[in-house]
Amino acid sequence: MALNAKSPTMKQAADISDNGFFMQDILSVRQFNPENLTYIFHVADEMRTLVKRFGSADLLSGYLLANLFYEPSTRTASSFMAAMMRLGGSVIPINEVHYSSVSKGESLPDTIRTLESYADIIVLRHPEVGAAQIAADYASKPIINAGDGVGEHPTQALLDLYTIHRELGQLDGLKVAMVGDLKNGRTVHSLTRLLSRYNVEFYFVSPDILKLPPEMVAEVRARGHKAHEVEDVREVIAAVDVLYVTRVQKERFHDLAEYDRVKNHYIINPELMALAQERMALMHPLPRVGEISYGVDGDPRAAYFRQMENGMFIRMALLAAVLGKA
Amino acid sequence: MALNAKSPTMKQAADISDNGFFMQDILSVRQFNPENLTYIFHVADEMRTLVKRFGSADLLSGYLLANLFYEPSTRTASSFMAAMMRLGGSVIPINEVHYSSVSKGESLPDTIRTLESYADIIVLRHPEVGAAQIAADYASKPIINAGDGVGEHPTQALLDLYTIHRELGQLDGLKVAMVGDLKNGRTVHSLTRLLSRYNVEFYFVSPDILKLPPEMVAEVRARGHKAHEVEDVREVIAAVDVLYVTRVQKERFHDLAEYDRVKNHYIINPELMALAQERMALMHPLPRVGEISYGVDGDPRAAYFRQMENGMFIRMALLAAVLGKA
Amino acid sequence: MALNAKSPTMKQAADISDNGFFMQDILSVRQFNPENLTYIFHVADEMRTLVKRFGSADLLSGYLLANLFYEPSTRTASSFMAAMMRLGGSVIPINEVHYSSVSKGESLPDTIRTLESYADIIVLRHPEVGAAQIAADYASKPIINAGDGVGEHPTQALLDLYTIHRELGQLDGLKVAMVGDLKNGRTVHSLTRLLSRYNVEFYFVSPDILKLPPEMVAEVRARGHKAHEVEDVREVIAAVDVLYVTRVQKERFHDLAEYDRVKNHYIINPELMALAQERMALMHPLPRVGEISYGVDGDPRAAYFRQMENGMFIRMALLAAVLGKA
């Protein structure tokens, strides 16, 4: 699928770069392939160096980001704000759209066209699947999808993949376990899709009622990957290079006896980590609510806070690339 | 009415400019006349050039704007933020005043005097008529009225007038139709007042129960303007240079049969636009809820999104002029 | 109590200064002594000069502050934002944590560790006592306590003390009256604690049911200070150098007849001020709700709006000192 090209409107003096990100919308993980992933990870590495050494840069000085969140997400909204500000840019935060002209019945396209008359790029979080695509259809400025309902959240998947790459130094040849609610987990779906571009063996660890949708398992296998479905994380902990943990919500269970039977199968604690390889990455998209015990936080394999920081670097890389300054 | 002069407190080194805007409050359209309008439109044109060519400037680098919104208005709040940021300034956004010290019973003057101890200029949106004047009475820093209830919203009227000037290249000699709820429409009242400074012929198009207040019609006629009151936009569409559309709300009607009878008289669609002059401007303060069909958006005469962008340029011009940097 | 030292993570190139504030958490007034207070007041004076002469500086250009408010406080939040922005830094405002991942059950330590992966310093307002200390225990970046329930609000106490120092040119040898609700007033407790480091005579003026906790009176006296407890501000108005007024809330009284009997004992009006010394400072942490009549605002001894401005200078000084740029 081709990136959805825009013609530059505000910043006509910027060079059209070769990398293919300039003035593109970032809507879906389907837009990414190993080649442009390698590129964006390389830029993210540069952003890390820049932040560690200088704190900030002025690459995007004078650029405005409209951070449009139709539903709250402190983590994602703050990460995009920090990314823009560390590049010297400014941010218009719009968090209370439920109070605003939207509540007077304004359509998403009209809101987007208003905001693009003020800003150079729009980050959109919306509760409905497809909202980011609709926004992109109407906008002449680039749109970055920061989550559209149960649809996509591509920057989350990118930061997850980047974290695996950073933690283990490779993507090909890994054994990756996805743990928890694999049925409803948007992050799991997107990351699985990205990882299936590489030579990866999958372990899907979940209660029976929260298994990965069969068509996704089939898709993974059709691409030639080994994919194991198991019910208890203890069955895989010793084998895997990556343990990607998500929450199992009690509310998903009709039969609470079943919940009580399985709930401890998906909790990571120091005893469990003692069984894991010495070199592996324990990840979580956060927030966590008990799935990973605090006792694990000091473990060098606990990668979830580095994962957060990587989110900022990936978003810096995307903002810079899309605005032609990478 | 004279502009309400302030003595500069923070930025004593700035030159007192000749244009009369330096350190003034912007409270009402009554402060404007063709001479200072021409000046501010000229500055807005410069701001447009600056944004199109460079994105931003650092004219207001180091200046702080307190963006104080007692009621939500994503559009206006974002426009002021963008304007300040594109001039290199910083913004303190204050949107949740209903949660804050105000809810502990603090008076508007105390809130204003607190904020002016932090910021260089205050933009105020408030649900009560006269709030901006009260704020200005107590503040030593300049206040810009961003809407005070059914009172004034001068920057909206300025951007509307600027858009007419931009779209048609002139203000004198035009035929302007105001359409929709002319009784309650603050924007219509302010724009009418500004336009009556020029040689303009007015068409007031509304349901009988939502007509322009008789004293405003009388005021317009007393200034020597032709003013026609009609009920259906089809009666005027072929004649006018400007069609300024506002919403007709069902809730205004006690008699729903009457609403059903007239509702289609105020909806602009491609069929209606086919009857309009080749050179004209279709405007709307937005948000729209059906008054202008999406099918019209591609029409070159549809000026409402350019109107939004003009809002940012006008606000940049006012901020720069008031802070002595225009 | 020693300042809670952090090792610098982001800004390794910054000089470690001698003053002891670099990379420290600011959690409690107990961290301060006359020596480091003199230092920080000196820096605050420099910040005042900087703002009056240039508006802003770029000392903290490229630095990010996460302004994390679990409960609303427009005044304090805006003051920290302004302080950071006037130093050239950027701010991530996080005001709606009740809507966000916190409402999904995330712990304060996880939220803090996420935000410190984006920002260089975190300002925290939280409704629970001890929250700032918990945040500091987990963070590797500095935490500034902007109020933790009925616990501490050290920057308020610092700005109060700085205001007394500015208004009267001295701290030793003063007679200071604390007026109003002395039982529940966090600001009164913290300021009393700071002032008891100096040679000060105290007057505690309150209704019987809202007296300063006996252990605090004992503590003040144990440090060798004279401390008078009286019921009516008229008994002390002529004697004192500082009148620090706080609100007496009707809701605190079980016996409304008692409230009616005493309520006028704590209201400051021009008649009362006529009895005060020519050189004295009338202070209030704001917001006020009738405790000081508007008629007093023009009195040169009314220091409460200067107190607000001093808050920005003190916070600028702390931010600069903690980030090693003072």
DSSP state, B5?
A: B
Residue C280 DSSP SS3: coil
Whole-number Cα distances in Å, C148 to C24, C152, C181 = 18, 6, 19
Rounded to the nearest angstrom, the minimum Cα separation between C12 and chain A is 8
Whether C118 and A52 lie within 8 Å, measured CB to CB: no
User: Are A95 and C90 inside 8 Å of each other by CB?
Assistant: no
**A114 touches B: beta carbon within 8 Å:** yes
Q: Do B56 and A66 touch (CB under 8 A)?
A: no
Q: Is the pLDDT of residue C91 over 80?
A: yes
Task: Output the pLDDT for position A15.
Answer: 38
Task: State pTM to two decimals.
Answer: 0.93
Q: Residue A277 — φ and ψ, nearest 5°?
A: -65, 160
Give the nearest chain C residue to B10 (CA atoms): C52
* C296 reaches B (C-beta below 8 A): no
Query: Cis bond leading into C287, ω under 30°?
Result: yes
On the CB side of C278, how many CA atoms lie within 13 Å of its CA?
0
Q: Which helix (H) or strand (E) holds C81?
A: helix C74-86
For B273-288, the pLDDT digits (tens) are 999 999 999 999 999 9
φ and ψ at A204, to 5 degrees?
Answer: -105, 110
> Which of B138, B205, B207 is CA-nearest to residue B177?
B205
Lowest-pLDDT range of A257-261, B130-134, B211-215: A257-261
C86 reaches B (C-beta below 8 A): yes
Beta strands A174-179 and A200-205 are parallel
The label of the residue with tokens 């894991």 reads A276
Cβ–Cβ below 8 Å for C106 and A286? yes
Is A14 at the interface with chain B, CB within 8 A?
A: no
- Name the more confident of C193 and A19: C193
Which of B69, B79, B81 would best serve as a mutation to test chain A binding (most A beta carbons within 10 A)? B81
- Calpha distance A315→B12 (Å, rounded): 41
Contact C64 A82 (CB under 8 A): yes
Two tokens, residue B172: 């004198």
Residue A320 region, left (φ>0) first, then alpha (ψ -120 to 50), else beta? alpha
A73 lies within 8 A of chain C by CB: yes
B3-12, B109-118, B253-262, range with greatest mean pLDDT: B109-118
SS3 string, chain A, reads CCCCECCCCCCCCCCCCCCCCCCECECCHHHCCHHHHHHHHHHHHHHHHHHHHHCCCCCCCCCEEEEEECCCCHHHHHHHHHHHHHCCCEEEEECCHHHCHHHHCCCHHHHHHHHCCCCCEEEEEECCCCHHHHHHHHCCCCEEEEEECCCCCHHHHHHHHHHHHHHHCCCCCEEEEEECCCCCCHHHHHHHHHHCCCCEEEEEECCHHHCCCHHHHHHHHHCCCCEEEECCHHHCCCCCCEEEECCCCHHHCCCHHHHHHHHHHHCECHHHHCCCCCCCEEECCCCCCCCECHHHCCCCCECHHHHHHHHHHHHHHHHHHHCCCC
Q: Examine the pLDDT at C202 and tell me if it is beyond 60.
A: yes
Judging contacts by C-beta atoms under 8 Å, the chain C residues touching residue A75 are 100-101, 114
Choose the closest CB to C90 out of A85, A95, A294. Answer: A85
Facing residue for C106 by CB, picked from A79, A287, A306: A287
Across A16-20, A49-53, C246-250, least confident range = A16-20
Please give the pLDDT value at position B229.
98
Give the least confident one: A231-245, B87-101, C74-88, C264-278. B87-101
Greater model confidence, B89 or C253: B89
Interchain CB distance below 8 Å, A66 and B85: no
Predicted local confidence at residue B98, as pLDDT: 58
How far apart CA A262 and CA A256 sit, in angstroms, is: 10
pLDDT in the model for residue B213: 96
Token duo for residue C71: 């409960």
Buried b or exposed e, range B246-266, using 16+ CB within 10 angstroms: bbbeeeebeeeeebeebbebb
Task: Give the separation between CA B309 and CA A10, rounded to whole angstroms.
Answer: 12
* Nearest residue in chain A measured CA to CA from B87: A62
List the single residue in A with minimal CA-CA distance to B308. A114
Higher-pLDDT residue of C209 and A102 is C209
State the average pLDDT for chain C: 91
C11 vs A: CB within 8 A: yes
Average pLDDT, chain B: 91
Q: Number of C-alpha atoms within 13 angstroms, CB side, residue B274?
A: 4
Measured between beta carbons, the chain B residues lying within 8 angstroms of A117 are 305-306, 308-309, 311-312
A308 touches chain C (CB under 8 A): yes
What is the predicted ipTM?
A: 0.92
A118–B56: do the CB atoms touch at under 8 Å?
A: no
CA closest to A11 among chain B residues: B55
> What local confidence, expressed as pLDDT, does residue C264 receive?
85
**How far is CA B133 from each of CA A254, B139, C42, rounded to the nearest angstrom?**
60, 10, 38
**What pLDDT sits at residue A89?**
98
Residue B39's alpha-carbon distances to B20, B28, B124, C12, C160, in angstroms, are 10, 17, 24, 50, 46
pLDDT, one tens digit per residue, over B65-122 is 999 999 889 999 999 999 999 999 999 999 866 544 444 568 999 999 999 999 999 9
Contacts of B97 in chain A (CB under 8 A): none
Q: Hey, are the CB atoms on C101 and A287 less than 8 Å from each other? A: yes
Say whether A54 and C62 touch across the interface (CB within 8 A).
yes
Would you call A96 and B52 a contact, using CB atoms and an 8 Å cutoff?
A: no
In the predicted structure, residue C198 carries a pLDDT above the cut 90: yes
Q: Which residue among A93, A106, A118 sits closest to B79, beta carbon to beta carbon?
A: A118
User: What are the tens digits of pLDDT across the range A195-241?
Assistant: 999 999 999 999 999 999 999 999 999 999 999 999 999 999 999 99
pLDDT bracket for residue A4 (50, 70, 90):
low
Whether chain A has a CB inside 8 Å of the CB on C140: the answer is: no
Q: How many angstroms separate the CA atoms of C45 and C35, rounded?
A: 16
Residue A72: which of C96, C105, C106 has the nearest Cβ? C96
Chain C residue with minimum CA distance to B93 = C78
Nearest chain A residue (CA) to B90: A90
Residue to test with chain B: of C74, C181, C312, most B Cβ within 10 A? C74
**Distance spanning both ends of chain C, measured CA to CA:** 23
Residue with tokens 């002021």: B80
C-alpha distances out from residue B164 to A280, B178, C205, Å: 64, 13, 64
Q: pLDDT at position C185, please?
A: 86
Q: Do residue B92 and residue C81 have CB atoms under 8 angstroms apart?
A: yes
Contacts of A63 in chain B (CB under 8 A): 55-56
C58 at the A interface (CB within 8 A)? Answer: no
Is the pLDDT assigned to residue B242 strictly greater than 60?
yes
Collapsing DSSP states into helix, strand and coil, what is residue C191? helix
**Backbone torsions φ then ψ of B291, nearest 5 degrees:** -70, -30
User: Which 3 state secondary structure label does DSSP give C226?
Assistant: coil
Which of the 8 DSSP states describes residue C303? -
**pLDDT of amino acid C213:** 96
| pLDDT > 50? residue A2 | no
CA–CA separation, C58 vs A253, rounded Å?
A: 55
Please determine, for residue C102, whether its predicted confidence score (pLDDT) is greater than 70.
no
Number of CB pairs, chain B paired with chain C, less than 8 A apart = 80
Q: Is residue A101 very low, low, confident or very high in pLDDT (cuts 50, 70, 90)?
A: very low
Contact yes or no for B74 and A111 at CB 8 A: yes
Angle between helices C34-54 and C154-168 (to 10 degrees): 80
- CA dist B102 and C72 (Å) reads 11
Tell me, what DSSP letter sits at residue B26? B
Strands A90-94 vs B200-205: parallel, antiparallel or unpaired: unpaired
Q: In whole numbers, what is the pLDDT of chain A averaged over residues?
A: 91
Q: Tell me if C55 and B104 make a contact (CB, 8 A cut-off).
A: no
CB of A81 less than 8 A from some CB of B: no
> Are A314 and A44 spatial neighbours (Cβ–Cβ below 8 Å)?
yes
Look at residue B291 and tell me whether its pLDDT is greater than 60.
Answer: yes
pLDDT of residue C5: 54
Q: Which of the two residues, C250 and C11, has the higher pLDDT score? A: C250
Q: Does A11 touch chain B (CB under 8 A)?
A: yes
Which range is least confidently modeled, A253-267, B189-203, B238-252? A253-267
Q: Which residues of A touch C105 (CB under 8 A)?
A: 287, 289
Q: Compute the average pLDDT of residues A283-306.
A: 96
With CA atoms as reference, the chain C residue closest to A89 would be C90
Question: In the prediction, which pLDDT does C11 show?
Answer: 36
- Domains of chain B, start order: 29-153+309-322 (3.40.50.1370), 155-304 (3.40.50.1370)
Nearest CA in chain B to A97: B74
Determine the pLDDT at residue A264.
85
Q: Are B119 and B64 in contact (CB under 8 A)?
A: yes
pLDDT at C98 over 80: no
Closest chain C C-alpha to A68 CA, distance in angstroms: 14
C86 min Cα distance to partner chain A (Å) = 15
Q: Would an 8 Å CB–CB cutoff place A293 in contact with chain C? A: no
| pLDDT tens-digit map of B8-66 | 443 333 333 445 899 999 999 999 999 999 999 999 999 999 999 999 999 999 999 99
> If you count them, how many residues does chain A have?
326
pLDDT score at A8: 44
Is residue A104 over pLDDT 70?
A: no
Which residue of C55, C93, C306 is in closest CB contact with B120? Answer: C55
